[in-house]
Amino acid sequence: MRHKRLGLLLSSVAAVALISACDPATESKDAAGTTAPAGQASAPAEVASTAPTVDEATKKACTELLAAIEDTAKRVAAAEKIGPPAGHIAVGAEYIAGSADLSAKSIGASPVVADAATEVAGAMDALDEAYQKDPDKKPSKTALNKAVTGLETACGEG
């Protein structure tokens, strides 16, 4: 009896599968108006753009991040005019403030942009440390410039 029920169940499943394969309601039409059975992909009418789309939060974050970097650079330049050692303390403070600002502005951005902003913030923190370590020496901004270029690239890619 048990095998008979299993056989009927399998026959029912097979019948439903056959009926649904022939049902016009389960067929889809592509852009040319030809039908394709359900489960088969129709050829797309247009090829989708391969360019990445950038969400609004990331666009906003990029705009704010790049503006914050520019603002920090202006404030650092003004602090550098004070001269060492007091000026270096002021420069370090500006880098710390800029780093914190970048961290706040990267919230909600795509992971790629947020990671790039974190790199810039890290470079700013490293510059603060370098200024505090040797107030008579002006440290290189190469790492910061490289990180900013990385952020600009990330913002372009989304």
How many Cα neighbours within 13 Å face the side chain of 127?
A: 30
Residue 6 counted as domain residue: no
Residue 34 counted as domain residue: no
Residue 122 counted as domain residue: yes
CA 40 remoteness from chain centre: 33
Range of the domain at 148: 56-157
**CA angle, 151 then 156 then 158, to 5°:** 85
Residue 127 counted as domain residue: yes
Residue 9 counted as domain residue: no
Give me the number of domains the chain comprises: 1
Q: What is the pLDDT of residues 85-122, one digit of tens each?
A: 788 889 999 999 999 999 999 999 999 999 999 999 99
| Residue keyed to tokens 């394709």 | 36
Nearby residues of 114 by Cβ (< 8 Å), 6 or more positions away: 61, 106, 107
Q: Is residue 35 within a helix (H) or strand (E), and if so which, with residue range?
A: strand 35-36
Nearby residues of 31 by Cβ (< 8 Å), 6 or more positions away: 42, 43, 44, 45
* CA 105 – CA 115 distance, rounded (Å): 12
pLDDT at 144: 96
Q: Across the 158 residues of the chain, what is the mean pLDDT of every consecutive 10-residue run?
A: 42 40 46 50 44 74 95 94 84 94 93 96 94 82 96 85
pTM score: 0.64
Residue 142 counted as domain residue: yes
Residue 144 counted as domain residue: yes
| Residue keyed to tokens 């961290």 | 103
